């Protein structure tokens, strides 16, 4: 059981890197980004190609993050800002983007699943008494912990976070104070894309890249955000750990009940607390 829990924590930390970007895009920019799973897919495939060409995993993470960030910025500045506060058009547009990315990936990388080998220094197993954890999964946990701290400090303790909160709370007043609201929203959405690109790169040796992963990832991300609550970094972290552990334990112990164990908590939380465990009351 401890093995499944530890693996669930590692998987939950990967989900957090994804869900933190999604909750920022939806909770702050008010964009229902169905293409978030496709962003992960693109990041994973790009990381695979970069590592194959250069052998440098750090370079692969940077390349994936920057490529997806630029794509997200272009989509927001060029198209999505026209659909502000129009969820139906946002869903249709980003679903179309998902299909385009998936088809492009099929033509470029083929239809076969790809699993990137972990970097040599992150292979092997860490032992702590009777417990063991692959080094790479420990690395994913560390990345998620650092990212959560950085995001919290950025949103709560910096001028950037204050500017973002001002744009969200009252866009008209923020605009009269000289803040370029549209630019801020584009930067937030681009940052959400950067997080998805990072998740794709570090997820490539974990769950890999394959046709259909975009919808698998999107489903889990939606569940995490619903449970954790919109606009909450800690909520996304808590929801990610919960879903990661439930998913790992459910598949390992009772695979026939895995979907019930995954979606059951979401339905209960939606019923009892519609805004999620730690969702902001003003969203």
Whole-angstrom Cα Rg for the chain: 19
- What is the rounded distance in angstroms from the CA atom of residue 65 to the CA atom of residue 21? 12
Give the burial string for 108-128 (b: 16+ CB within 10 Å, else e).
Answer: ebeeeebebebbeebeeeeee
Residue matched to tokens 């920057």:
66
* 101 alpha carbon, distance to own chain's centre: 17
What is the percentage of the chain residues whose pLDDT exceeds 90?
56
Average pLDDT over the chain, rounded to an integer:
89
The predicted structure's pLDDT at residue 231: 75
* 42 alpha carbon, distance to own chain's centre: 13
CA distances for 247 relative to 16, 116, 152, 202, 244, angstroms: 14, 22, 26, 19, 5
The predicted structure's pLDDT at residue 237: 92
Q: Read off the pTM.
A: 0.93
pLDDT, tens digit (0-9, with 9 covering 90-100), for 90-117: 999 999 999 999 999 999 999 899 999 9
- Helix ranges restricted to H, the chain: 2-27, 36-54, 57-78, 87-109, 135-157, 159-169, 171-176, 181-203, 213-228, 233-253, 258-272
Angle at 190 between CA 75 and CA 46, to 5 degrees: 85
The DSSP line for 89-106 is HHHHHHHHHHHHHHHHHH
pLDDT, tens digit (0-9, with 9 covering 90-100), for 16-46: 999 999 998 888 888 999 999 999 999 999 9
Residue-range domain boundaries for the chain: 18-211
Residue matched to tokens 């560390």:
142
pLDDT, tens digit (0-9, with 9 covering 90-100), for 132-163: 888 999 999 999 999 999 998 888 888 888 88
Q: Inter-axis angle of helices 36-54 and 57-78, to 10 degrees?
A: 140
């Amino acid at each position: 059981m401890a093995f499944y829990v530890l693996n669930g924590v590692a998987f939950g930390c990967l989900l957090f890197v994804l869900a933190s970007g999604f909750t920022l895009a939806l909770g702050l920019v008010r964009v229902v980004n169905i293409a978030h799973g496709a962003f992960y897919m693109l990041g994973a495939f790009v990381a695979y190609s970069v590592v194959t060409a250069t052998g440098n995993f750090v370079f692969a993470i940077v390349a994936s993050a920057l490529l997806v960030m630029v794509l997200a910025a272009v989509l927001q500045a060029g198209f999505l800002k026209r659909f502000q506060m129009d969820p139906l058009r946002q869903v249709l547009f980003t679903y179309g983007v998902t299909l385009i990315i998936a088809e492009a990936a099929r033509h470029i990388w083929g239809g076969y699943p790809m699993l990137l080998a972990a970097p040599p220094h992150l292979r092997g197993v860490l032992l702590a008494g009777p417990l063991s954890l692959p080094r790479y999964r420990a690395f994913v946990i560390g990345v998620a912990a650092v990212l959560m701290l950085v995001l919290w400090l950025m949103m709560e303790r910096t001028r950037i976070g204050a500017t973002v909160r001002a744009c969200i709370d009252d866009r008209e007043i923020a605009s009269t104070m000289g803040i370029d609201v549209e630019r801020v929203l584009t930067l937030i959405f681009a940052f959400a894309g950067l997080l998805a690109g990072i998740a794709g790169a570090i997820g490539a040796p974990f769950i890999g890249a394959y046709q259909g992963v975009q919808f698998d990832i999107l489903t889990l991300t939606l569940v995490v955000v619903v449970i954790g609550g919109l606009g909450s970094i800690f909520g996304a972290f808590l929801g990610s750990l919960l879903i990661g552990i439930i998913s790992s334990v459910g598949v390992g112990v009772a695979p026939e009940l895995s979907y019930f164990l995954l979606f059951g908590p979401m339905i209960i939380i939606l019923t009892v607390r519609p805004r999620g465990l730690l969702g902001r009351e003003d969203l």
